[in-house]
Amino acid sequence: MGFFRDNVTKKYVTNNTTITEKRAPTDESVRLLKEFEEKAEAKFINRIDIKTNLIEYTLLEFHESATTYPGTFQYFTNINGKDYSGQVTVNKHNDNYREEFLEKIHLDLAQKLTRNIIIETISENNLKL
């Protein structure tokens, strides 16, 4: 054929497009969300927030039952840029429940911190166990 026709290269490009449908919440889902939030607020007793240059800490206290009255505490903290959270339950009828509560949170957080340090040490040094 001609000089220019022999040097023509054709490329076919396929394009995949994904379309997602996002729906507005229905009246029923909004009602259920409000009902869930109201039930959670009814169990919520106390919140403590601590924020310093070294640590951020949030402690939530929930009331589970009027008959047994255990105290359920959830904690959320950020240490060295890592988020940690946990939950402990103590019997608030016990005279030393504050000491029990502090010990349980201390042990739970210490286990999580230690586990994280060990995992990071193994991965940073490419140790095979």
- Encode pLDDT of 78-122 as tens digits: 887 888 888 888 877 778 877 888 888 889 999 999 998 888 888
- Encode pLDDT of 16-71 as tens digits: 778 777 777 778 888 888 887 777 666 667 777 888 777 777 877 776 655 556 67
Confidence band, pLDDT 50/70/90 cuts, at residue 8: low
Query: What is the reported pLDDT for 43?
Result: 67
Q: Which domains does the chain have, with CATH numbers?
A: 46-129 (3.10.450)
Query: What is the reported pLDDT for 81?
Result: 80
Q: Give the closest residue to 75 by CA, choosing from 62, 89, 64, 59.
A: 59
Output b/e per residue, 8-41; b: 16+ Cβ within 10 A. eeeeeeeeeeeeeeeeeeeeeeeeeeeeeeeeee
